[in-house]
Amino acid sequence: MNIPQTSFPRVVIIGGGFAGLAAAKGLEKQELQVVLLDKHNYHTFQPLLYQVATGGLEPDSIAFPLRKRFNDVDNFYFRLAEVDKINTDTNTIETSIGNLEYDELIIATGSTTNFFGNTNIQKYAMEMKSVPQSLNIRSLILENFEEALLTSNYEERKALMNFVIVGGGPTGVELAGALAEMKKGILPKDYPDLDIRQMQINLIQSSGEILKGMSSQASEKAEDFLIKLGVNVWKNLRVLDYDGKTVTTNGEDHFKAETVIWAAGVKGQTIDGLEAECVIERAARIKVNEYNQVLNYTNIYAIGDVACMSNEKNPYGHPMMAQPAIQQGKLVAKNIIAKLFNKELKPFVYNDKGSMATIGRNKAVVDLPKWKFQGIFAWFVWMFVHLFSLIGFRNRAIVFLNWVYNYIRFDRETRLIIRPFKKKNFYSFKD
Amino acid sequence: MNIPQTSFPRVVIIGGGFAGLAAAKGLEKQELQVVLLDKHNYHTFQPLLYQVATGGLEPDSIAFPLRKRFNDVDNFYFRLAEVDKINTDTNTIETSIGNLEYDELIIATGSTTNFFGNTNIQKYAMEMKSVPQSLNIRSLILENFEEALLTSNYEERKALMNFVIVGGGPTGVELAGALAEMKKGILPKDYPDLDIRQMQINLIQSSGEILKGMSSQASEKAEDFLIKLGVNVWKNLRVLDYDGKTVTTNGEDHFKAETVIWAAGVKGQTIDGLEAECVIERAARIKVNEYNQVLNYTNIYAIGDVACMSNEKNPYGHPMMAQPAIQQGKLVAKNIIAKLFNKELKPFVYNDKGSMATIGRNKAVVDLPKWKFQGIFAWFVWMFVHLFSLIGFRNRAIVFLNWVYNYIRFDRETRLIIRPFKKKNFYSFKD
């Protein structure tokens, strides 16, 4: 890998998402060598992927080149690599670009879509965990509309204009809302020769409420917003299968749809090599102690989505969201530095700052620890928080400009099929 | 194709580039049905593709959704389609989505890269005529740098950092300049562990001057700018072959390079079905008369790059650039309307507004009909003209914001490998 061996201990971080980035930042300017590995050369701001998928933002504005963030940091190395295996006995990792020894290892590999073993759904449904995947969804939506124009077969046209989103978490809700706004403001203008009433947006949730992690107030209001926007919200309905044509469920409803977006579950992106007992099966996350140390190891940490730190308050680990990831990343950096100076480690305590989701124009729900509110003010809070969480002045400025433009013009202008999905059989390049 | 048959004559336009777009705009609000066909759902502002390739702009800011432009136009139909053949005896075209009859046909298919029959070069070299192709170049540049980091083989590393641009026209010159600026300001920071002096940018021109279409003053100054930026300018050198590893020439120089960008020629993107004698072989453009009518036909027009209107001043046709394309598009629309009212057609007279090219920060060359100038003022003129030639307020605002940011920060921030080129063998998806 061509990384020099120095007298400083080497900290290897796998993954440049929220958790890994926070850890890397926290380790700057120490007597340490930091190596950050990621399979992309950029950090992805995942909360806004749904806007890339629905033509509201360009991908470049929510991604940030990882090398640039650490341009001025000494003793920092970035490598574009995928990690295959950890050899805990020799303290090395095996990667797509060779092996590397570590003194301290931070696993921040995040999460991936969980299809719960259904290979049909995995094959035919779309996922939205990365920039390329979001661009695939954007292409597919528009390609389906182009195709719907051409057919005089009513059933076929309806299937092309039927969008099924499985999973009523923040991703599903935000995507359904954005699609509903496309239906309202943009698609009727772009496709005047289609009867837009034939477009259906179905959001399917297996339990009795959407936005399960949030307050019932937020959940009910979000559902209300979605229904007003024309989304069909299906609760207590479980998707059983999708063969590329028809979504079958455990109820009497089934859906003939060319587009199914699977947002019904994530699981930890684990790596081979940790002893089997470390990994607990619920969502395949790695079990860690209160210092984010992987069980049985003192120099291997797991942070963010991939880590499962269970305690009384969070028996199944912390929510797989940005906030716990960032907080764990910061703390693990502090603890590694503390170790360097033989100081005591601090246990992780999750500071729940609240959560929020946006449904559409002037429509969002916010749960703060002591205050819950919904509607236009919530929407402005949502925008403000997301804008300032982006990395880089340029990205913030461009997202802001897009949002102002989209708000004033009721538009989403980046509806370009830059990388055709259907035609070129990109099904084999789904990520 | 599901396009209604009306009592109005149907004008079919093939291609939504500068020429086709200008023609479509000119035909608005007439007693005509206009059908615009393009293989992309967006118009590409080709003069700025090189900035997408070098990380200065996001692709979405130089592309504009074609449907949006004609949202409010009655009796206008856009279809995403590739045209395979013209049947002049039945006045129909055959496309990827079915056949279509036309009353008037405008061929505005533009141009494609001309490899002059060299299949090796076609296979291994990169081209830059579309958004996806530009993103491929961006990915390849960055992927090569990532790879260069990993090798301890000196020759291999040098080949990975050697960029050969063939063709000293505006595309080649602008790309070479942008790469030189990346070398100066960005890559040393991003890749501090590489010796950036090993990066070479070679611009190869077969004739004795670069920017052949411009004044000798512009040509000399541009060369001067390039040399100052550290580009190796090779004149009177002809590339003979490239096997993916080594560029061979008709001189004693050869170049071991992993990246070759072919900007040495374009040719008309012709369509089957016009009688052979209409097509003259020089750059495969379609021969037209002074009304842009294809020889032997009164209802088939060719405009822009694909058209060759030869007269005394332009024995080989007009330059294959935006200006003649736009002017021909406008005139052909006027002439079709004139025909509708049984008025006389107007012959095309090219109004040469001049030409310009930018080499880098504060460095451009401008030839106006009565005034030629170079340097910082030329650079501002270049920016101003390009900014206001873009379609759409949002695109202009975002390009402007990027340019201001890049100027102040000496940066180009969109250096993301969003679609890996090398790894996934995208060689089969080159467009």
Q: What is the CATH number of the domain that holds A399?
A: 3.50.50.100
Residue of B67, B135, B193 to mutate when probing chain A, most A C-beta within 10 A? B67
Asked if A60 lies within 8 A of B63 by C-beta distance, the reply is: no
B216 with B253, same domain: the answer is yes
> What letter does residue B185 receive in the DSSP assignment?
I
Using a CB-CB cut-off of 8 Å, the residues of chain A touching B63 are 416, 418
Q: What pLDDT is recorded for position A431?
A: 44
Asked if A419 lies within 8 A of B97 by C-beta distance, the reply is: no
- Asked whether the beta carbons of A268 and A109 are under 8 A apart, the reply is yes
φ and ψ of B31, to 5 deg = -80, 65
Q: How far apart are CA A410 and CA B412, in angstroms?
A: 30
Task: Report the first-to-last Cα separation within chain B, whole angstroms.
Answer: 25
Q: What pLDDT is recorded for position A427?
A: 44
Residue B71 has its nearest CB partner, among A189, A392, A429, at: A189
B347 in A contact zone (CB under 8 Å): no
Using a CB-CB cut-off of 8 Å, the residues of chain B touching A395 are 413
Query: For residue B103, what are its two tokens?
Result: 């009353």
Place of tokens 């806004």: A48
A97 in B contact zone (CB under 8 Å): yes
- Asked whether the beta carbons of B34 and B27 are under 8 A apart, the reply is yes
Task: Render each residue's pLDDT in chain A as its tens digit; 431 residues.
Answer: 889 999 999 999 999 999 999 999 999 999 999 999 999 999 999 999 999 999 999 999 999 999 999 999 999 999 999 999 999 999 999 999 999 999 999 999 999 999 999 999 999 999 999 999 999 999 999 999 999 999 999 999 999 999 999 999 999 999 999 999 999 989 999 999 999 999 999 999 999 999 998 999 999 999 999 999 999 999 999 999 999 999 999 999 999 999 999 999 999 999 998 865 555 556 789 999 999 999 889 999 999 999 999 888 888 899 999 999 999 999 999 999 999 999 999 999 999 999 999 999 999 999 999 999 999 999 999 999 999 999 888 999 999 999 998 988 888 888 888 877 775 444 444 44
Asked if A398 lies within 8 A of B398 by C-beta distance, the reply is: yes
Q: What pLDDT is recorded for position B411?
A: 85
Query: For residue B166, what are its two tokens?
Result: 């063939």
Q: What pLDDT is recorded for position A295?
A: 85
- Domain assignment present for residue A68? The answer is no
- Residue-wise pLDDT for B321-344, tens only, equals 999 999 999 999 999 999 999 999
Which among B185, B206, B204 is positioned nearest to B196, based on CA atoms? B185
A250 with A371, same domain: the answer is yes
Average pLDDT, integer, range B209-235: 97
- Domain assignment present for residue B184? The answer is yes
Q: What pLDDT is recorded for position B423?
A: 55
Q: How many domains does chain A have?
A: 2
Cα angle A298-A289-A92, degrees, rounded to a multiple of 5: 35
Q: How far apart are CA A152 and CA A278, in angstroms?
A: 56
A276 with A185, same domain: the answer is no
> What letter does residue B108 receive in the DSSP assignment?
-
Q: How far apart are CA A127 and CA A133, in angstroms?
A: 6
Q: How far apart are CA A113 and CA A20, in angstroms?
A: 19
Which amino acid would we find at residue B273?
A: G
- Domain assignment present for residue B5? The answer is no
B240 with B367, same domain: the answer is yes
Closest CA of chain A from B13, distance in Å: 18
Q: Closest-CA residue in chain B for A131? A: B418
Closest CA of chain B from A35, distance in Å: 13
Asked if B402 lies within 8 A of A394 by C-beta distance, the reply is: yes
pLDDT of B277 above 60: no
Closest CA of chain A from B128, distance in Å: 14
- Domain assignment present for residue A44? The answer is no
B193 with B232, same domain: the answer is yes
pLDDT of B217 above 80: yes
3-state secondary structure of B309: coil
3-state secondary structure of B243: coil
A303 with A292, same domain: the answer is yes
B253 with B134, same domain: the answer is yes
A99 with A145, same domain: the answer is no
Using a CB-CB cut-off of 8 Å, the residues of chain B touching A401 are 394, 397-398, 401
Asked if A190 lies within 8 A of B68 by C-beta distance, the reply is: yes
Using a CB-CB cut-off of 8 Å, the residues of chain A touching B79 are 146, 149-150
B29 with B100, same domain: the answer is yes
- Residue-wise pLDDT for B101-147, tens only, equals 999 999 999 999 999 999 999 999 999 999 999 999 999 999 999 99
A87 with A166, same domain: the answer is no
Which amino acid would we find at residue A241?
A: D
Last residue of a domain, one of B309, B340, B371: B340
- Domain assignment present for residue A335? The answer is yes
Q: What pLDDT is recorded for position B284?
A: 85
Asked if A132 lies within 8 A of B80 by C-beta distance, the reply is: no
- Residue-wise pLDDT for B40-80, tens only, equals 999 999 999 999 999 999 999 999 999 999 999 999 999 99
Q: What pLDDT is recorded for position B307?
A: 94
A208 with A257, same domain: the answer is yes
Using a CB-CB cut-off of 8 Å, the residues of chain B touching A60 are 58-60, 413-414, 416, 418
User: B189 lies in which domain range?
Assistant: 119-264+361-429
In angstroms, what is the C-alpha Rg of chain A? 22
Using a CB-CB cut-off of 8 Å, the residues of chain B touching A98 are 150
A204 with A275, same domain: the answer is no
Q: Closest-CA residue in chain B for A37? A: B146
Asked if B68 lies within 8 A of A415 by C-beta distance, the reply is: yes
Using a CB-CB cut-off of 8 Å, the residues of chain B touching A394 are 401-402, 405, 411, 413
Q: How far apart are CA A224 and CA A220, in angstroms?
A: 6
What's the whole-number average pLDDT of chain B?
Answer: 93
Residue B189 has its nearest CB partner, among A59, A71, A405, at: A71
Q: What pLDDT is recorded for position B40?
A: 95
B429 in A contact zone (CB under 8 Å): yes
Q: How many CB atoms lie within 10 A of CB B255?
A: 22
Asked if B41 lies within 8 A of A142 by C-beta distance, the reply is: yes
A303 in B contact zone (CB under 8 Å): no
- Domain assignment present for residue A169? The answer is yes
Last residue of a domain, one of A298, A314, A340: A340
- Domain assignment present for residue B76? The answer is no
> What letter does residue A32 receive in the DSSP assignment?
S
Query: Would you list the DSSP string of A287-354?
Result: EB-TT-BBTT-SSEEE-GGGEE---SS-TT-S-SSHHHHHHHHHHHHHHHHHHHTTPPPPPP------
Return the CATH number at B297: 3.50.50.60
Helix A216-228 and helix A170-181: axis angle, to 10°?
20
- Residue-wise pLDDT for B327-386, tens only, equals 999 999 999 999 999 999 999 999 999 999 999 999 999 999 999 999 999 999 999 999
Q: What pLDDT is recorded for position B412?
A: 85
ipTM above 0.85, yes or no: yes
Asked if A418 lies within 8 A of B63 by C-beta distance, the reply is: yes
- Domain assignment present for residue A66? The answer is no
